[in-house]
Amino acid sequence: MSEPTSDARNTPPVAHRKKAFVFASLGAAAIAVAVLAAGGIGENLVYYWGPSEVHAAGDQAVGATIRLGGMVAADSVQYLGTSALEFDVIDGEQIVHVKATGVPPQMFREGIGVVVEGTMTAAGYFEGNRLMVSHDNEYRTPEYGESVDMKERMKTTKGLADDTGR
Amino acid sequence: MVPVLGRALILLTLFLATAGAMVGFAAGARRTAAGFAWTRRFAYAFAAAMVLTNALMVYALLARDFSVAYVAQVGSHAVPNWVAVVSLWSSLEGSILFWGLVLGLYIAAATWTTRDAPGDQMSYAAAVWLATGACFAFLLAGPAQPFGTMDPPPLDGPGPNPLLQNHLLMIAHPPFLYLGFVGMTIPFGLASAALLTGRLGHDFVRPLRTWLMVPWTFLTVAIVLGGWWAYEVLGWGGYWAWDPVENASFLPWLTATAAVHSGVLMERKGTLKGWTVTLIQATFLLTILGTFMTRSGVFNSVHSFTQSAIGPALLGFLGLGLVWSVTLLALRIDRLSSPVAVGVARSREGLFLVNNLLFVLFTFTVLIGTVFPLIVEATQNVQMSVGRPYFDRMAVPIGVTLLLLLGIGPALPWGRASAADMKRALLPPLGATALAGALGYALGVRNGWTLVTIAFGGYALHVTLHQLWLPAARRMSAGFGEAFAELARLRRRTAAYVVHLGAIVVIVSIAVSSTEGESVEAQLVPGETTTVGAYTLTFQSAEEIEQPHRISVVAHVAVTKDGRDLGLIKPRMNHYRSQRQPIGTPAVRTQAFEDLYLSVMNIDAANQRLGLLAIVKPMVGWIWIGTGIMALGGLLVLWPARRVVPPLATPVVTEGA
């Protein structure tokens, strides 16, 4: 892109320099726009939402990829067969009912911070296909009842040993 | 005592780096022999001081001297000595210190190998290396001080992150990554020196290419080691997730690979000088960006990265490096123009250009996908990430096209090719293409992209083996020894095709392993069975094993395949005493063409329950093998040439790359 053409040596260096920079920056901008368009970045965003934000998003949440972060509500976990479960995720204000498939991670229990990746269904429940126990950078899980910034936790679930998704 | 000595040593490295950089720039500008000699002395002294500082930290870690803040943070009486040593790079401060050690060693080695280079060029290069060293010594002296004093010292520490203790690969991954990242400083310095002196001739190109291949080889291995570790430890069955931390290491690899290729044209044809230098600068800047992204905590929250002073400092270095690079390019743009035009489309040169554009496109794709969430969060305060489909949608076509080029490029002759030449070069490998595609289909591959990848892989394999064999075949009449000697004489050419061979294996294996195979999840009690692929898995029992630093709960899973007994496989869950979060350790049964991957999701020894994830994935092992072949090729490039004839009379053969 910034490679000058061979006839450019005859033009004065400064004019040439300007030309090269203009070309280089235009090229970079063009590539950036092309990548954004071709990759469909807008359709492939993963939102980090708590229950309140899921409710606030309304219909927007249906079909969107969401990382739902919050606490597992007490007395809400139900195991259905060998590899499915339902539970409520709360953030102190709102509740989202989650139906998840798969085997839960080791630390999963009522009152613990979780992140569920999935989407909201039109039927009003959250369909989770990836269930993670949230932790901080030191890979510690919060104590029962310990208050945590779930937003920060949601981003650090990668690398979890007991993460059930693919 | 140790903390004070440590802080003094860090100040010494900071002084040596800063003074050395100033002496180097002055010596480069004034061209005095004494200045050159002093620059070299400062470079060696900086390296020695970094070695001493690291040695002191290792001593403190081994002695469990908890009066040192870093030891109090990551040390523990409960861990074995080897864990204590690798704790050096287990946390932020120590890893920056280790970074300094690697930089010091690189600077010493590069100063030694360029001792016969023109003094001004060498001094400028050393000045840039030492300036980078000063930046990191500054981090150590201030925001990432590892030798803080703990008063009173604690009786014991928590030990390093258990993820580091859990698998040997995690001990190898960080040093390789640093050797890859830090090493990019050397070509950056050489390129800066060439721009400063305005001499971009042959004596600049050769060391530049060598010093680019060293970190490139380490970085290649490091990226794959990271993936391998994720696969063996994290337990979700994959090796790559387009995670920002992974992307941080992949970005400079992409631009470095582009530079390795454009460097071939630069050396052979004297073209693409400005372009290659730009790629090398971009690579260096991307290593700093990568360090910033992984070390500042910016991905936890855009707004939290300023909590530690290291984030803004690294961002400052990044800005400084960017201004420096652009200014140098602008100053020398008149000398960077090519003596000959490059644009011959139907030639190997033309394909080198396409290759470079694809690598740059790939870099933009990954960079945008990685940085996009940061920009959105900073401007709109919305937290999000970019999902895998975006990366896959871009990376798959680019990767497949690169594989195609890997086949066609080396087959084409240099210069303009006639239609007859093209036919002769490009048609024969089509047999291997059809064969590979048919083989893939026969083995059950139905994914279109994967079939195309396998077919292109066949094409590239044919061409690569042909090119590897060609020079040997010409000498075959003179005997096997002669043929081998010819391959050794054409060392760099041979090495390039060995790297290509490894790359083909890796690309095809990635395509197959990420689209084929199957998985199952099940909650089991003893005696219960689940099936995945041709395997039948029976949970027998859960056993608790106590070790000094951890308790492991091991699942005993009996495996049969098509009725054949394959014995017990034992995935486990490790509870480290210092951490609340248990860490699963999957058991992987690797075979020639298929992995059986068992991962414990949850396990309870008291109630004998097991939540199991079982995956059958084909060809994963070949990713590691292919990387080994690539690394072997990288080593071959660097192996010192046997000087049979005086060096001046030796023709420089650098075909391919």
pLDDT value at B653 more than 60: no
Of A40-54, A109-123, B493-507, B637-651, which range is least confident? B637-651
Closest partner residue to A102 (CB to CB) among B301, B361, B521 is: B521
Q: Check residue B169 and give its pLDDT.
A: 82
- Give the gap in angstroms from C-alpha A103 to the nearest C-alpha of chain B: 6
What's the CATH fold of domain A45-154?
OB fold (Dihydrolipoamide Acetyltransferase, E2P) (2.40.50)
Closest partner residue to A31 (CB to CB) among B304, B364, B612 is: B364
Query: Do A103 and B523 count as a contact with CB atoms less than 8 A apart?
Result: yes
pLDDT value at B376 more than 90: no
Q: Check residue B41 and give its pLDDT.
A: 96
Convert B228-266 to b/e letters by CB count within 10 Å (16 or more is b): bbbbbbbbbbbbbbbbbbbbbbbbbbbbbbbbbbbbbbb
Q: Where are the domains of chain A?
A: 6-41, 45-154
The more confidently predicted of residues B24 and B303 is B24
Residues of B in contact with A13 (CB under 8 A): 333-334
Residues of B in contact with A160 (CB under 8 A): 234
Instruction: Enter the pTM of the model.
Output: 0.89
In chain B, the percentage of residues whose pLDDT exceeds 70 is 94
Label residue B338 by pLDDT band (50, 70, 90). Answer: low
In chain B, the percentage of residues whose pLDDT exceeds 90 is 58
Residues of A in contact with B368 (CB under 8 A): 32, 35-36, 39, 41
Q: Show the beta-strand stretches assigned E in B378-467.
A: 384-386
Query: Which among A78-92, B498-512, B521-535 has the top mean pLDDT?
Result: B498-512
Q: Check residue A82 and give its pLDDT.
A: 72
Distance CA(B206)–CA(B216), nearest Å, equals 15
Label residue B205 by pLDDT band (50, 70, 90). Answer: confident
Average pLDDT over residues B223-231: 91
- Token pair 């539970």: residue: A87
Average pLDDT over residues A55-77: 89
A136-160 residue pLDDT tens:
444 344 444 444 455 555 554 443 3
Q: Check residue B434 and give its pLDDT.
A: 95
The strand pair at A78-79 and B518-524 is best described as unpaired
Average pLDDT over residues B533-554: 90
Q: Check residue A15 and give its pLDDT.
A: 59
Interface with A, mutate which of B366, B376, B523 (most A CBs under 10 A): B523
Query: Do B337 and A160 count as a contact with CB atoms less than 8 A apart?
Result: no
Residues of A in contact with B516 (CB under 8 A): none
- Collapse the DSSP code of A119 into the 3-class scheme (helix H, G, I; strand E, B; otherwise coil) and give the result: strand
B149 DSSP assignment: B
Query: Do B582 and A161 count as a contact with CB atoms less than 8 A apart?
Result: yes
How would DSSP label each residue in A10-64?
A: GS-HHHHHHHHHHHHHHHHHHHHHHHHHHHTGGGGEEEEE-HHHHHHHGGGGBTS
How would DSSP label each residue in B269-325?
A: HS--HHHHHHHHHHHHHHHHHHHHHHHS-TTT-GGGGGGSTHHHHHHHHHHHHHHHH
Distance CA(A94)–CA(A52), nearest Å, equals 5
Closest partner residue to A106 (CB to CB) among B300, B524, B573 is: B573
pLDDT value at A102 more than 70: yes
B403-427 residue pLDDT tens:
999 999 998 888 877 888 888 889 9
The more confidently predicted of residues B98 and B171 is B98
- Give the gap in angstroms from C-alpha A14 to the nearest C-alpha of chain B: 9
Q: Check residue B506 and give its pLDDT.
A: 97
Label residue B300 by pLDDT band (50, 70, 90). Answer: low
The more confidently predicted of residues B32 and B480 is B32
Label residue B429 by pLDDT band (50, 70, 90). Answer: very high
Of A6-15, B97-106, B218-227, B597-606, which range is least confident? A6-15
Query: Do A40 and B389 count as a contact with CB atoms less than 8 A apart?
Result: yes
Quick one: which of B194, B130, B151 has its CA closest to B328? B194
Of A6-20, A25-39, B336-350, B516-530, which range is least confident? A6-20
Q: Check residue A154 and give its pLDDT.
A: 57
User: In degrees to the nearest 10, what's the CA dihedral of B143, B147, B151, B153?
Assistant: 120
Q: Check residue A121 and give its pLDDT.
A: 93
Distance CA(B450)–CA(B206), nearest Å, equals 38
Average pLDDT over residues B620-647: 80
The more confidently predicted of residues B641 and B23 is B23
Query: Do A46 and B524 count as a contact with CB atoms less than 8 A apart?
Result: no
pLDDT value at A22 more than 80: no
Q: Check residue B345 and give its pLDDT.
A: 60
Interface with A, mutate which of B299, B380, B384 (most A CBs under 10 A): B384
- Give the gap in angstroms from C-alpha B206 to the nearest C-alpha of chain A: 21
Nearest-Cα residue of chain A relative to residue B339: A6
Label residue B337 by pLDDT band (50, 70, 90). Answer: low
Q: Distance of CA A38 to CAs B7, B387, B401, Å?
A: 51, 14, 16
Q: Distance of CA B567 to CAs A155, B537, B539, Å?
A: 39, 10, 12
| Mean pLDDT (chain B, rounded) | 89
- Collapse the DSSP code of B2 into the 3-class scheme (helix H, G, I; strand E, B; otherwise coil) and give the result: helix
